[in-house]
């Protein structure tokens, strides 16, 4: 409707299309993030020399025991856990701003 009423295509996209699809985009980003973090099995089975953090944790755990993975586990948790919470907070702030 905005484009039919004379708004340029770029303005229509950023003022109408993007705000209406923001929830779906955020959901897709969060689901992708969970998939990336959980992508362990296929790499562990088929890769010759895996370098991903979850696979490195598993290999170090098998080779050296639990003491070898404490530091890397905390790094993984500190990097991975805040992301969904930050995205949710930003989305709530954007929704609050749009409702005003």
Residue 96 pLDDT class (50, 70, 90 cuts):
confident
If one counts the domains in the chain, the total is: 1
- Say if residues 17 and 25 touch (Cβ distance below 8 Å): no
Q: Could you tell me which residue, 95 or 41, shows the higher pLDDT? A: 95
Q: Is residue 26 part of a domain?
A: yes
How far apart are the C-alpha atoms of 43 and 45, rounded to whole Å? 5
Domain extent, residue 91, equals 9-99
Q: Is residue 4 part of a domain?
A: no
Q: Is residue 13 part of a domain?
A: yes
For 53-87, how does the pLDDT look when each residue is reduced to its tens digit (9 = 90+)? 777 888 888 888 888 888 888 888 888 888 888 88
Burial (Cβ within 10 Å: 0-12, 13-18, ≥19) of residue 32: exposed
The predicted pLDDT at position 30 comes to 85
Taking the model in full, what pTM does it have? 0.50
Closest-CA residue to 87 (of 40, 35, 31, 18): 31
Q: Is residue 1 part of a domain?
A: no
């Amino acid at each position: 409707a905005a484009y039919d009423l004379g708004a340029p295509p770029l303005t229509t996209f950023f003022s109408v299309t993007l705000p209406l699809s923001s929830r779906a985009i955020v959901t897709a980003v969060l689901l992708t993030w969970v998939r990336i973090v959980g992508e362990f099995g296929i790499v562990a089975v088929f890769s010759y020399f895996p370098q991903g953090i979850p696979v490195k944790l598993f290999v170090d755990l098998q080779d050296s025991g639990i003491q070898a993975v404490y530091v890397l586990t905390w790094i993984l948790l500190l990097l991975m856990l805040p992301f969904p919470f930050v995205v949710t907070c930003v989305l709530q702030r954007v929704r609050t701003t749009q409702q005003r």
